[in-house]
Amino acid sequence: MNIRFRCPRCDTVASLSRLDANVIACPACDWNRPLPASFQHAQRPSECLCCGCPDLWRQKDFPQRVGIALVACGAILSSIAVMYYRPNLALAILMAFALGDMLLYALMPDVLVCYRCGARFRDQTPQQDYPAFSLDTAERYRQEHARLTDARAGDQPASSPAGPLVASGSSAGLPPDEGPSRSQALSSR
Per-residue binding letters, 103-122, with Zn ion (x by CB under 5 A): -----------x-xx-x---
Total residues at the site for Zn ion (CB under 5 A)?
16
Q: Least separation, in Å, of the C-beta of 45 and Zn ion?
A: 10
Q: Least separation, in Å, of the C-beta of 172 and Zn ion?
A: 9
CB-neighbour burial class of residue 35 (10 A; exposed 0-12, middle 13-18, buried 19+): middle
31 vs 105, which CB is nearer to Zn ion?
A: 31
What is the distance between the alpha carbons of residues 152 and 78, in angstroms, rounded to a whole number? 53
CA distances from 149 to 102, 137, 152, 170 (A): 40, 18, 5, 12
Of 10-18, 70-78, 148-156, 181-189, the segment contacting Zn ion by CB under 5 A is 10-18
Strand locations in the chain, DSSP E? 2-6, 13-16, 23-25, 32-34, 56-60, 110-114, 120-122
Does residue 130 bind Zn ion (CB under 5 A)? no
Does residue 24 bind Zn ion (CB under 5 A)? no
Name which position in 29, 35, 104, 153 contacts Zn ion (CB under 5 A). Answer: 29
CB 28 within 8 A of CB 7: yes
The contact set with Zn ion (CB under 5 A) reads: 7, 9-10, 12, 26, 28-29, 31, 48, 50-51, 53, 114, 116-117, 119
